A and B are shown apart, each in its own frame.
Chain A
Amino acid sequence: MRGMPKRLLALLLLAALPWLARADEQAFTNRATELKERGAADAATVAKLPENAPVKVLARGGGWTKVEAGGKSGWVRVFHLRFAGSVEASNSSGGGLASLGSALGFGQKNEQARLVTTGIRGLSSEDVKNANPDAAQLARMQSYRADRAAAERFAKEARLVAVRIEVPQDGAKGDAK
């Protein structure tokens, strides 16, 4: 009798494995690159990674992504990664197995795990085409508009300082400012 729950647990674990593999988002290096201690070009190098090295995505910020590779964690330039999430994220089974995972004590530990699409069906083109225009909602939205002064105060609170930057020539042309 005591053996049964263990075998059941093992079975459940087996069933949960594919989900566990997906929970930590997988990415690959798209060129040889360096794993850095911090997200900065001048930070110390933790390890050198070859092209196509699998990494586990832990967090993102600025132009750098926090990853785990070969047992070490550090930061890699976001442009040096190729993400595999779009093929792996599962809509149909994610929810069920996720709850199984947490019932067994495997909480979703990192930020990225929560970013996987939930699979709840959203707005469709047909919904929008068939909708009746809602003038009251439009008016409500316009009542939330911010004026210049409010935007300036808001920017100051977060120490957002405007800088003059021209649009580079090979970029979006003609945005005179």
Chain B
Amino acid sequence: MRMRAWLVAGAFGLAAANASAIDFGSIINKAIDTGRQLNEANHEFTQEEEVALGEGLAAGFLGAAPLRKDAELQRYVNRVGKWLAMHSGRPELPWTFGVVDTETVNAFAMPGGTVLITYGLVKRLGSEAELAGALAHEIAHVVKKHQLQAIQSDKSSQAWANLGKGIAGEAIARRGSDPVGLKTWGANAGVELLKNGVFLRPLDRSMEYEADKLGVVIAARSGYDPYGLVGVLEMLAQVKSDGSGLSVLDTHPAPADRLADLEPFMPQVERDVKQPQQVEARFRKVVAP
């Protein structure tokens, strides 16, 4: 057994030595293959691929809507989000939350656990339980890999065709421990998916309803009033799209439909809730009315 372990280690050492000599042709081929595989609907993204893709999407998004310059608010939202994510089906992801400075009312989940929420939405909320309701809905999308599924089912996109090039260029530039430049490749892919609009398309309505329900459960598990999301939907039912195309009213089913879908579901969650909290005072200290 010990002998065999040595042999394996030897083989690895050899491979590493060869890689440093750089065989451009084989790296490029491998990179293009990787791009092709990732585009297959049944490809299982590794967590690393998923996170890298989400980081690329987030970087692109932040290029259009920067973070709100309020470190207290950013840390606050990260604590609420992390606490919620710890009670989701994927607590191990590198969960990251950001408040972006725009009047548009919406929130966006990126594969791998990055969630962006607009200040336009945050300032219209009335409590931490409502913030938790909105964030938990996004966390549910990540847990269910809804965005990944939508990206993979998009066959019309040119994004994937451009990916091979990105990987190849990166692979040649890096020569590091990440021979196909996966991390940066993922980021490039994310940027590409943002540019051609694939990521901005609304998800299936069934995914939104599923995220509403799972979000309610995640918030309730975390000790929040499960009606937080219901309060958010009630508020959304009273606002109007800003015509940007990126408002929550443009990208989601109508709030009234979402409320109607949640009504029969709520009693099943309420049954198990112990001492649900609204947490208004702490929310008001960070988000001025």
Contact = CB atoms under 8 A, between A and B. Distances in A.
B78 A144 contact: yes
A123 B65 contact: yes
Nearest to A81: B234
A121 B243 contact: yes
Interface residues of A, number: 74
Interface of B: 55-56, 58-67, 71, 74-75, 78-83, 86-89, 94-98, 100, 102-105, 114, 118, 120, 124, 126-128, 140, 143-144, 187, 191, 194-197, 200, 210-211, 213-214, 217, 220-225, 227, 230-231, 234-235, 237-240, 242-247, 249, 254-256, 259-260, 262-263, 265-266, 268-269, 272-279, 282, 289
Contacts of A174: 144
A111 B80 CA distance: 24
A127 B61 CA distance: 9
Report, nearest first, the 5 A-B pairs whose CB atoms are least far apart: A122-B104, A85-B238, A160-B223, A131-B63, A172-B214
Interface of A: 25, 57, 60-63, 65, 78-79, 81-83, 85-86, 89-91, 111-112, 114-125, 127-135, 137-138, 140-142, 144-148, 150-152, 154-155, 157-168, 170-172, 174-177
Contacts of A130: 64, 195
Contact of A163 (B143, B195, B274): B274
B259 A60 contact: no
Contact of B102 (A85, A122, A145, A175): A122
A90 B227 CA distance: 28
B276 to A, nearest CB: 8
A174 B217 CA distance: 13
Nearest to A142: B96
Nearest to B81: A146
Contacts of A78: 227, 230-231, 234, 259
Nearest to A153: B79
Given A160-B83, A165-B269, A172-B140, A155 B223 contact: yes
A147 B92 CA distance: 11
Contacts of B187: 133
Contacts of A172: 140, 144, 210-211, 213-214, 217
Contact of A146 (B56, B82, B266, B272): B82
24 contacts: A61-B127, A78-B227, A78-B231, A83-B256, A86-B255, A89-B239, A90-B240, A111-B126, A123-B64, A124-B246, A125-B244, A128-B61, A129-B196, A133-B187, A133-B191, A138-B62, A144-B71, A144-B98, A147-B82, A163-B220, A168-B265, A168-B269, A171-B210, A172-B144
Given A132-B63, A141-B98, A151 B79 contact: yes
A74 B82 CA distance: 36
B235 to A, nearest CB: 6
B217 A167 contact: yes
Contacts of B240: 85-86, 89-91, 116-117
A79 B244 contact: no
A28 to B, nearest CB: 11
A140 B98 CA distance: 9
B190 to A, nearest CB: 8
